[in-house]
Structure formats: C-alpha cells, structure tokens
Amino acid sequence: MSALEAAIAHHTPLIGTEVGVSNWITIDQKMIDDFAKTTHDEQWIHVDPERAARETPFGGAIAHGFLTLSLASRFAYDCFNLMPGQVMGINYGMNKMRFLMPVRAGSKVRGRFTLLDAKARDATSMLRTNNLTIEIEGEETPALVAEWLGLAIFKD
C-alpha cells in the first residue's frame, strides 16, 4: 500500500468527525494595524479605535475579515502534522466561506476542523476538504465558517 493509499484509508473513517481544535490567538490592535498596512486597507473601522467606538455598534475597532481568515493556516499547523510519506501541504482554496461575526480588537479566536472528504486527486496527492469554523472566545456565533480545500502531496 502506498503512502497516499494509507492516508486515504486513515482518513475515510474520520469523514464527518471533528479532527482538530487549535490554540487560541489574540487579535490585538497592533496585529490589526500591521495587517492594514500590509494590505493597504486602512479603513477607520479597523485602525481608529476611538472613532469606531463612537460611530459603530462594535464598541471599538474590529479585525479585517481577511485577517481572521488568514489565521486559518496557523490553526491548521496547530491541528495537523505531515502524514507518513507526505512532503508538503498546499492550500487549494475554498468552496464556500462566510463572515458571520466581527472580531473586536483584543478578542481571542481559534479554529475548529471537521473532515468532510478525503480522496486521491492524482497519483501523488490527496484532496482533503475540511469545514473550518473560526470561533471567538465568549461568543456563540463564530467569526466565520468555510469549506477549505488542502492538497497533501506525497513522494512517489
């Protein structure tokens, strides 16, 4: 049995189950400001906490949705290791993704993964589909939900 076949055999019984919960990460104002500078998205609801407190229902600055989404890779590192024979993992994109709740500056977020599918894409890669929920500590509604695709690449 190849490493790819073994990985698929390992994943198949896990379909529909939670396969990982990451550590919490604090999204502070400095992280928001740095992201704003990097992406050239310096809208005041992100970088002006005083104005955001006065003029929005959020009580202060909120993180960019794409900042929250960008933490998905960090969450995956917390939850998944390379499988035997795997040489790398590649982000393959999203089928679906929705921002459900703004993340206020100072909030903690974490990722929760449920395996939806795992199948061979070709002779050396497995396409793994996970539901990713990014939770906000103390909030019932998550920041976002996404159907995230990843390729696990195996050596020949």
What is the arithmetic mean of pLDDT over 123-139?
97
Q: Is the pLDDT of residue 36 over 80?
A: yes
Q: Is the pLDDT of residue 63 over 80?
A: yes
Give the pTM. 0.93
pLDDT > 70 fraction of the chain, expressed in percent and rounded:
100
- How many C-beta atoms lie closer than 10 Å to residue 155's C-beta? 11
On whether the CB atoms of residues 97 and 143 are closer than 8 A, the answer is no
Beta-carbon-side half-sphere exposure of residue 55 (alpha carbons within 13 Å):
8
- How many C-beta atoms lie closer than 10 Å to residue 58's C-beta? 15
Cβ-count burial 96-112 (b if 16+ within 10 Å, e if not): eeebebbbbbebebbbb
* Class of the CATH domain delimited by 3-27+63-154: alpha beta
